[in-house]
Amino acid sequence: MSICKYKRNRGFERDFALKIYFEITDFNTIFVTNEVIRYYQLIMNDLAPTIIDLKGKIEKLVKLHQQLKQENDKLSADNAGLLKTVEEQKTEIEALKKSSQDILQNKTQEQDTLITDTKLKINELVQEIDSCIALLNK
């Protein structure tokens, strides 16, 4: 068995700060030494709190996302209800405008009819007065 030092030209792309040694057997099998195992254990021990913290943050984000989605659904439903109310009010406003125009038109027609009737009555009275004056003048 021989021990060789890690070399970039062997096709390995990972670059670690620690010296990494490989034991190469006659069968070209690579065994990782205890030094490398300890290095990875140190990395994992350092990463474990970070991973746990990251997991907690992800869970918090998922929970927040669900809450925001529920709030968005509620607001969308409220918005749909308000849009329906606005449409109903627009319809009611149009009906009231039409009713107002009809009332104004009827009122104008009634006034016109009253004015015409009054003029006719005055004309009749004037004719009657004229006929009375004519009778008096005879």
Local confidence band at 122 (pLDDT 50, 70, 90 cut-offs): very high
User: Which DSSP string corresponds to the chain?
Assistant: -EEEE--GGGT-----SS--EEEE-TT--EEE-HHHHHHHHHHHHHHHHHHHHHHHHHHHHHHHHHHHHHHHHHHHHHHHHHHHHHHHHHHHHHHHHHHHHHHHHHHHHHHHHHHHHHHHHHHHHHHHHHHHHHHHH-
CA 97/CA 86 separation, integer angstroms: 16
Q: What is the predicted pLDDT for the residue at 41? A: 75
Domain ranges of the chain: 2-109
- In angstroms, how far is the first alpha carbon of the chain from the final one? 162
pLDDT for 48-60, tens place per residue?
A: 788 888 889 999 9
Phi–psi pair at 21, nearest 5 degrees: -120, 145
pLDDT digit string (tens) for 66-114?
999 999 999 999 999 999 999 999 999 999 999 999 999 999 999 989 9
Gyration radius of the chain over CA positions: 50
Cβ atoms of 44 and 34 closer than 8 Å: no
Two structure tokens written together for 29: 């099998």
- Please report the pLDDT score of residue 33 as a whole number: 63
Name residue 32's amino acid: V
